[in-house]
Amino acid sequence: MKTLTEITGYYGPLLAKGAFELGAIRLSPSDPFTWASGYRMPIYNDNRQFLAMPKYRALIRDAFADMLSSLGVNPDNIAGTATAGIPHATSLADMLYKPLTYVRSSSKDHGLGHQIEGLGRNGSYEGKNVLLIEDLISTGSSSLKAVEAVRQADGVCNLCLAIFTYGFKTAEDAFAALDPACVFHTILSYDVMVATAAETGYISASDAEALHEWREDPFGWGEKRGWKREVR
């Protein structure tokens, strides 16, 4: 059986190339994007672009399935985060023939007020093991809220699989601080993404260096280069 490193080493570069092709990941250190927070950032990620091509949806599904096999995990339920995690959780749940749920960022303010859909009448996971599927791990805050929601619904959620991560230490620390801890793994890591971008000529060596510097200080990176945060 292949190791997790071997699996992500195979799928990661393929997914990175697909991300560049579809615009799911865009890199522009010389003319940074303005994020919703107002900060100028050299990367923009929108994994919803993968929905446009069946081969990349299948690649993501297969990668998640292989990662589960490598980890020796056989979840009882596949939970996707709303909204970007839902299609990939659905593909994986269909492939593994598992129950599917999805987790909103907060409870509905109408109807039955559910935060998690697909639990049935009793609204509980009944102690079952739940795999959380996320599209992006940034600071980890939204993913942690989903983990906590699953646990509040009596689900055992100690593993999260995601498509991509920026590799911020704050996310790793936040997941580790949960009690019990929740582990996350991604198909594509930030370092592999930058390396693939450089190898394919999508970015220059100086761009790659700037992207590594951004990851070390994402919220101070732009201002150090003369791009002040836009107050909104």
Ordered by where they begin, the domains of the chain are: 4-219 (3.40.50.2020)
Residue 110 has pLDDT above 70, yes or no: no
State the alpha helices, DSSP H only, in 79-204. 86-96, 141-152, 169-177, 190-199
- The two most distant CA atoms of the chain are separated, in Å, by 56
Identity of the amino acid at 75: P
Mean pLDDT of 91-114: 81
pLDDT given for residue 1 in this prediction: 80
pLDDT given for residue 153 in this prediction: 96
- pTM of structure: 0.95
Residue 188 has pLDDT above 80, yes or no: yes
Which has more confidence, 1 or 168? 168
Secondary structure string (H, E, C) spanning 188-205: ECHHHHHHHHHHCCCCCH
Mean pLDDT of 123-138: 96
What sign does the dihedral 209-39-147-49 (CA atoms) show? negative
* Mean pLDDT for the chain overall: 94
pLDDT given for residue 108 in this prediction: 44
Mean pLDDT of 197-216: 97
Name the pLDDT band for 107 (thresholds 50, 70, 90).
low
Tokens at 84, concatenated:
């970007």
Q: List, as own/partner pairs, every contact residues 152-155 make where C-beta atoms lie below 8 angstroms and the sequence separation is at least 24, other chains included.
A: 153/116, 153/119, 153/123, 153/124, 153/125, 154/124, 154/125, 154/126, 154/127, 155/77, 155/79, 155/125, 155/127, 155/128, 155/129, 155/130
